[in-house]
């Protein structure tokens, strides 16, 4: 049976995907610059929930993997990987303020990860 963490993960991924798709196709990231922060936050939530879904799917079973530090390390690793990906494909690397934008993206992703961690722990503890 699908656990509540996985259901919330799928809902979060759906909202994130639709938001990102619409933002790219209708240039919403350029019209509403704050929307980038929303998608990075949702991404952090999705990574944290996805990490806990690994337990629900029995990929990782030891509880030590789902403590705070390993969970947040996974969020930080994905956030940093995403920013490296953006550098590799040349997304706005030559625009002024790129470093500040990168740092804020990582902070928003990590903040979303904190929220996702609390949500996942809450959902798991209430089973």
- Domain spans, the chain: 4-125
DSSP assignment letter at 92:
S
- Please check the confidence at residue 126 and state whether its pLDDT lies above 80: no
Which of 3, 37, 26, 25 shows the shortest CA–CA distance to 119? 3
For residue range 76-87, list pLDDT tens digits in order: 999 999 999 988
Which of 57, 63, 47 shows the shortest CA–CA distance to 114? 47
pTM value surpassing 0.85? yes
* Alpha helix stretches (DSSP H) within the chain: 4-25, 28-31, 35-56, 68-89, 98-125
Q: Whole-angstrom Cα distance, residue 123 to residue 125?
A: 6
For residue range 111-122, list pLDDT tens digits in order: 999 999 999 999
CA dihedral 77, 80, 86, 89 (to 10 degrees): -70
For residue range 33-71, list pLDDT tens digits in order: 999 999 999 999 999 999 988 887 778 778 888 889 999
């Amino acid at each position: 049976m699908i656990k509540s963490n996985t259901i919330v993960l799928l809902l979060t991924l759906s909202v994130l995907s639709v938001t990102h798709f619409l933002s790219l196709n209708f240039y919403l990231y350029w019209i509403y610059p704050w929307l980038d922060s929303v998608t990075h936050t949702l991404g952090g939530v999705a990574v944290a929930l996805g990490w806990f879904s690994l337990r629900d799917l029995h990929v990782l079973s030891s509880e030590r993997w789902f403590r705070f530090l390993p969970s947040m390390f996974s969020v930080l690793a994905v956030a940093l990987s995403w920013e490296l990906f953006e550098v590799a494909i040349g997304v706005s690397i030559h625009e002024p303020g790129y470093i500040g934008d990168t740092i804020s993206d990582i902070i928003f992703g990590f903040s979303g990860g904190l929220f996702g961690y609390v949500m996942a722990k809450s959902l798991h503890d209430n089973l």
